[in-house]
Structures are given as structure tokens and as C-alpha cells.
Amino acid sequence: MALVCQCVGHCPGNVPNGTCLIKTNGMCFAAVEQVWNRETDQLELEKTMGCLAPDDAHILQCKGHLVPHHVPKTIECCNTHDLCNLELHPSYFNIPTNQYEENSHFPMNSSHLLVALITSLIVFIVLFVILYIVYKRYKIYLKKSQNESLYVEKNIPLKLDNSDKEKIDVTVSSGGSGSSVKPLLANSKRIIAIKGKELDLWKSSQKESSSYYDYKKYNNDSSTIDKRFIASESLSRDSFENSMSSGSGSGQLILIQRTLAKQVQLYECIGRGRFGEVWRGIRFSQNIAVKIFFSRDEASWNRETEIYSTVILRHENILGFLGSDVTSYNSCTQLWLITDFHQLGSLYDYLIETPLDIKQMLSIILSIVSGILHLHTEIFGGLGKPAIAHRDIKSKNILMKNTYTCCIADFGLAVIHTQTTGKLDVAENHRVGTKRYMAPEVLNQTLKSDIFESYKMADIYSLALVLWEVVCRTRVDGCFDDYCVPYYNCVPNDPSFDDMRKIVCIDQQRPEIPDRFKSNNILYKLEKILHESWSQNPSSRLTSLRIKKSLLKLQNEFHNELKV
């Protein structure tokens, strides 16, 4: 049954005063609220009446005076009989005299306070992030400024006669017997400033002797200066535009990739092979080696670049890497791999010309084993490296740094293994290892290609053959053998797989050990190491760590014998 309520200010049809009807469970209400009177510029009380629909809303509205409002209000409700709200007289006290007092008498709502706190927190976080970004950019700017202060390259025009113009640039044709060097004339010099001092990198002669500068007059350690400003970038397989850190053994910094080949002047071809050519060049008045790959052997160039770029190979017995680049001459693409230059050449070339004494022999084989051990060992941590198997160890891939020390080169076939992830990265390469140095399990195709230890044990077999080459050239009581490659008396100069498989796997032959080894204590013990390292069974071979420890022990014994 409907009830009638008095309405004032809340009547149907916007009628100022009158009545309204409510259904069952509806409410009649009377309310007092403050209204701002613009004419008097004060807050005044205004009484209103009306009807509340029979829903849940009236339950809260009728108790609205119990909570603070932005505009204070007092309300009372009833539904006992018709016009019951005429009997309601809600009252409101402490009415402010003006609008400003109104705001001061009512505390801030808790929800408003929460919103204010959240807003303040967000503003603080945004400001902190902005300041942190500015700080990091400032540090990068300072670091860049310091690097630029150590590497300053200028072009200073010179007024020179034609006879005095300097040959400062070079373009190289594609590899092969018809390759040539075409010098270009220019009337400018490259100057490098180091700590305010200028080094003239190009002199007025093309002769080798005039292409060098003595860095030591500017610093006691020329290699330190080299590390300050000689920089390079390695090229990734996927993009020539990418920049990446150089994983070189020389520890150089990073420079724009495509400028690297332009900084190199080639002088002479020092070697040719199935992969391409090796040239001696000059970069910043220092000798470097440039390995120019044939385009058909791009996979090997990619692999070496990838390994040097993504793996930290910094070690004294690993060839120092300066960078790689792609250049072109007469529409022929050239793939360059730029490394440290070592005047003595490969171990193969050195052994042909030079017999060794025991001290020199021990030092050489110890440096070779140290390089292999560094490759085979995984180093954990942020500056670590994965384990690497070389897969093409031979005397031609080992370079002589000096008469007592070697370094390992040529990583075109290398395999990478990371213990934490278990990932085995095998190069996709048409090349195979050198057949003369292949382990039995490689020749008879029983090598377990999914197990990294198999590749390491194959390396140990090849290493044993290299150690045999070195030991056989050792002078004992004035006697030494002429240099010979392994199995020289068993297979042709260019043996096939079948030739090597028959000798190594079926006949199980190994290189001959000279009889004079038995008369010398050091060589006799080395013979035992060789036999264990080239064992037919891969699991029976010594590890690179075990070989190194044995060699160190032999070296100490030799030194003690000399003291006696």
C-alpha cells in the first residue's frame, strides 16, 4: 500500500512543493543541509523533504549524517504513516559563517588522504627515476670524454710537393696469385694525440724501416699505449652493423667496425693455404697479421669471428685478436681477420729451420699445453668463458711468439660447451680437420658428437702428435733428427681418409720414438706422456691439466739437474 510524503525541493516533475508517493518499504525523509547563498556570500541552512525508493539506497542515505560529507547534511527518515516526514525536524549545528570556515571545520576524508599519499609517492618515484637516468647518462658522458681524450684522430692538411707526398692508404685486390697492393697518394697526415702529445703515424717513405715509431719514448710500456687507443670491433655472423665487445687476447677496446680495414696498410703476403692468404700489415705503425679468407670459406671466418666476439679468450698462449672486417676491391668481397703479428711464424716453420735444446723444448710444449688447457676449461662468472675444443690442432696452427713461447690460432672448427646450460655449439662448416692429425675415433667415425668430452680427447690425440714433432727436434748429446711430420714414413704427403684410417685405426701405428730418448731422463718421461696421450682408447688419454702438471714437474727436475 502506497504512502504519501511531503516533498519540498525533491518533488516529481520539479514542482517546488507538494507530495510524492512511496511503495512498500520506501521512506519519507526530511533533511537539513548547507547551501551557499551567493547574494549574502554566506552558508545558509536549507530544509528539504521527499521520497526515497524502496531499494537498498535508502538504508545508507538515512544514516548519511553519521559520516562526514563535503557538504554537511543531516537527514531523518520514516514510513509509519502518510506525511510522516512533516513530523521530522532534523537539526544541524556549528554552521560556518563563510565558505572558508566550512572547509576548515571538516577534516579531510580518509580516501582523499590515501589518494594524496599515493600521488606523492608516484611523483617521488618518477623524480627519482629521472634523476637516476640523468646520473647514468652523465657517467657515460664522462667515460666517453675520457676515452676521447686518449684517442684523438685529426686530419691536418699539409702543403707538400708531389715528391714529398706520402703514401698513407692502401687498397688490396682479391686473394690469389694475382693479388696486388695499390698505394694511394694523399696530402694529409694522421695524427694521434696521447696525453697532449702528437705521434706522426705516417712518415714520408714507403720503406718498412720508416713505417715504425718508437712508442717507448712516450711511455715505458708500448703495449700499454697500444691498449689505450688501438681498438677494433668484431663482426657478427648475422649483421655487419652490430657492435659487440672484442673477446680478444690483447684486450683492445671497441671502434666502429667498418673503419677497421681502412686503418690497415698491407705490405707482404706471408702465407697461403686452403682458407686464403695471410698478409703482414701495418696499423698505427705496428705490425699486424691479416688473414684474408676466400669467399667459399666464409663459414670459417664467421666461426672465428663469432668465437672471438662472444668468448673471452684473453690468455698469453692464445693468439691476440684485433678485429674482423668485410672489405671489397674490384667488386670482390674480402673477409678479413686481424690478429697480432708474430715474426717467427708457425711452429711448423720454426721447427724446420731450428733444432731445440731441452730447456727451449720444455718451454715450448708447456706453452702449447697451457693454451689448450685454457681452451678446454670453462671459467664461471661474469667475465668467464665456456669450454672450447679446437678440433684442428697441428703445428701450422700454432704460432711462435718468441723462441720459448707459442700461442694457439685458427678457431674455424671450434666447438663450444657451457656446463650450466648443457648447450653444445658445433660449427656448421664444410671444413674438416687435418687428416694427418685426426684421432682414431674421428677417422673411423665413432666419435660421440653429442658429448663434449669426446672433442677434448680428440684434441689431446692431435696435441700428442704436435708434442712429438717438437720433442724429435730436441738436441741430445749433440744429436737431433731432421724435422718430420707425423706418419711421414707411413702415408703420402696428402693422405686420404682411408690411408690414415688404415695406419691409425686398423694397424694402430704411432709415430716412431727415437732410441736416444731412452738415454735421457727427461725425454724418457716425455715418451711415456706421449704414449698415454695418443692412446687408441679416448678415455685412456691424459687430460690437458694432467699433461701440464707432468710437464711442470719435468721442468722443475731439469732445472734442479742444471743446478747440480
Rounded CA gap, 13 and 30, in Å?
Answer: 19
Q: What is the dihedral of CA 332, 335, 339, 345, to 10 degrees?
A: -70
Burial zone of 555 (CB within 10 Å; 0-12 exposed, 13-18 middle, 19+ buried): middle
Q: Alpha helix (H) ranges present in 354-439?
A: 358-376
Closest to 485 in 3D by CA, of 469, 498, 472:
469
Cell triple for 298: 666464409
Which of 297, 325, 340, 392 is the catalytic position?
A: 392
C-beta of residue 514 within 8 angstroms of C-beta of residue 504 = no
Rounded CA gap, 199 and 195, in Å?
Answer: 11
C-beta of residue 231 within 8 angstroms of C-beta of residue 254 = yes
> Do you know the residue count of the chain?
564
Rounded CA gap, 52 and 58, in Å?
Answer: 6
Quote the longest CA-to-CA distance of the chain. 135
Closest to 462 in 3D by CA, of 487, 480, 426, 425:
487
List the helix and strand counts (H, then E) for the chain: 12, 20
Residue with cell 714520408: 204
Rounded CA gap, 411 and 406, in Å?
Answer: 16
392 a catalytic residue: yes
Indicate the helix (H) or strand (E) that contains 470. helix 452-472
With a CB cutoff of 8 Å and minimum separation 6, the contacts of 297 are 274, 275, 276, 335, 412, 431
Burial zone of 276 (CB within 10 Å; 0-12 exposed, 13-18 middle, 19+ buried): buried
Q: Which residues are identified as catalytic? A: 392
